[in-house]
Amino acid sequence: MAMAEITKEDFEQVLKEEKGWTLNNESTAKEYVYDFPLSSRPHIVVRVCSSINKHNDTRRACGKDAIRVFSVNIKKNIGWIKTKRVYRTEGWKKNLQTAILNCFNAARERADK
């Protein structure tokens, strides 16, 4: 599969600020990281690591990284839910949306136990 050219703007078309996504400016990662808190448990956030280098806005080299979706408990600073990687190939937006939805559902289910 061909590698898709993905920019920060492409991510922000999917992870819209007006829908509740925020750019995590406190992250020490070398890539842009986006957070969305669960409404019922704001200390649980779904996090997306973009693989877009925040120092020069370029994507990482082919095979070097993928988009990662997971959730964390920011109050305890621990992982909450891990999902499969989203590869930067054709159809990445749909695959990202599916991974996010799966992560939200799993995080809500675990939080409600």
> Tens of pLDDT along 93-107?
999 999 999 999 999
Whether 47 is covered by a domain: the verdict is: yes
Whether 3 is covered by a domain: the verdict is: no
Whether 1 is covered by a domain: the verdict is: no
In this structure, which amino acid lies at residue 15? L
**pLDDT mean over 11-26:** 93
Whether 74 is covered by a domain: the verdict is: yes
Does this model's pTM top 0.85? My answer is yes
Average pLDDT, the chain: 88
Whether 57 is covered by a domain: the verdict is: yes
**Domain count within the chain:** 1
Whether 2 is covered by a domain: the verdict is: no
pLDDT, one tens digit per residue, over 26-76 is: 888 889 999 999 988 999 999 999 988 888 766 655 555 689 999 999 999
The CA distance from 52 to 60, in Å, is 6
- Is 32 in contact with 23 (CB distance < 8 Å)? yes
The CA distance from 72 to 47, in Å, is 7
The CA distance from 82 to 71, in Å, is 7
Bridge partners of 69, per DSSP, are 48
Which residues constitute the domain of residue 98? 8-111
Whether 17 is covered by a domain: the verdict is: yes
SS3 53: strand
